[in-house]
């Protein structure tokens, strides 16, 4: 990763996205893992990625197009990240993998 042209940018993007989600989880003191909290964290992460992408890659792109990108990124984040997390949790719980862990 660090030996590639994109390594530093990938690390920066990962840090920014992860930090945005952690801020949301921090507000809940890491005690709430409901779909709405996951959705807000996913949207915060997508918004952080959107800002970073706009600054680094898309500074010359029309702001209207940028807003459309933001909307699609937010929708995708809620469906894939929050929805996927809930679906994965349900599947693992049903399979018994999460026995011994608190709900």
Give 1-36 pLDDT, tens digit per residue.
Answer: 678 888 999 999 999 999 999 999 999 999 998 999
**41 φ, ψ (degrees, to nearest 5):** -65, -40
In terms of C-beta density within 10 A (0-12 exposed, 13-18 middle, 19 or more buried), how is residue 8 classed? exposed
Q: What is the pLDDT of residues 30-67, one digit of tens each?
A: 999 899 999 999 999 999 999 999 999 999 999 999 99
Determine the Cα–Cα distance for residues 96 and 98; give it in Å rounded to an integer: 5
Residue 90 banded pLDDT, cuts 50, 70, 90 = very high
Closest by CA position to 46, among listed 66, 23, 74, 21: 74
Return the domain boundaries, the chain.
7-94
């Amino acid at each position: 990763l660090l030996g590639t042209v994109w390594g530093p940018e990938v690390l920066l993007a990962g840090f920014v996205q992860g930090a945005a989600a952690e801020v949301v989880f921090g507000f809940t003191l890491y005690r709430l893992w409901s779909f709405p909290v996951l959705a807000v964290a996913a949207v915060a992460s997508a918004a952080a990625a959107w800002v970073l992408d706009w600054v680094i890659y898309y500074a010359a792109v029309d702001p209207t197009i940028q807003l459309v990108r933001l909307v699609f990124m937010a929708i995708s984040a809620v469906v894939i990240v929050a929805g996927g997390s809930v679906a994965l949790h349900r599947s693992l719980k049903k399979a018994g993998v999460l026995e011994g862990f608190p709900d």
